[in-house]
Amino acid sequence: MPIPRVYVETSIPSFYCSSREDPESVARRNWTQHWWDFKQANFELLTSSAVLDELSQWDSTARAGALELLADVPLLPMDPPIVEIVKTYVRHSVMPADPSGDALHLAIASYHKCEFLVTWNCRHLANANKFRHIRRVNTLLGLYVPALVTPLELLGQEM
């Protein structure tokens, strides 16, 4: 059986390297670090230049650590159809109209047939209330529909 392909969205290295101390951030950081350090070997991790671009714009001290975390993660190509997919997501109100944000990550993961898109963005991506709409639009476009999950969901029965 092939190893599942996982698209790593920007919030994953962000929480891995976060220094925030509020209880929710600490929990997300711990789950992210545990998944990355002990479970990510069970998956084929992939990311994109869009994630690296977002991380490069940070002015925080965590930027170098976040970029280093992804240094060996292969980048999926930004093939021309991805731009049209993003436009369709925005047109169908699947995602907000930020061309470098959530719609782009979803388009890349869908176009490249990733089984999972791992994220802590529970507003626009890992959101059960949005998933039906995402699935409907991806089906209309003939695209694969990745599972939109958090690292906690990829830890399995352990936590």
Tens of pLDDT, residue by residue over 70-91, are 999 999 999 999 999 999 988 8
Find how far residue 48's CA is from the centre of its chain.
10
Confidence of residue 130 (pLDDT cuts 50, 70, 90): confident
Average pLDDT, the chain: 89
pTM for this model (two decimals): 0.92
The predicted model gives 7-36 an average pLDDT of: 94
Is the pLDDT higher at 29 or at 131?
Answer: 29
Residues counted in the chain: 159
What was the pLDDT predicted at 145?
A: 95
DSSP letter, residue 21: -
E strand or H helix at 86 = helix 81-91
What was the pLDDT predicted at 159?
A: 42
What was the pLDDT predicted at 52?
A: 95
Domains by residue range for the chain, with CATH: 5-158 (3.40.50.1010)
Is the pLDDT higher at 94 or at 28?
Answer: 28
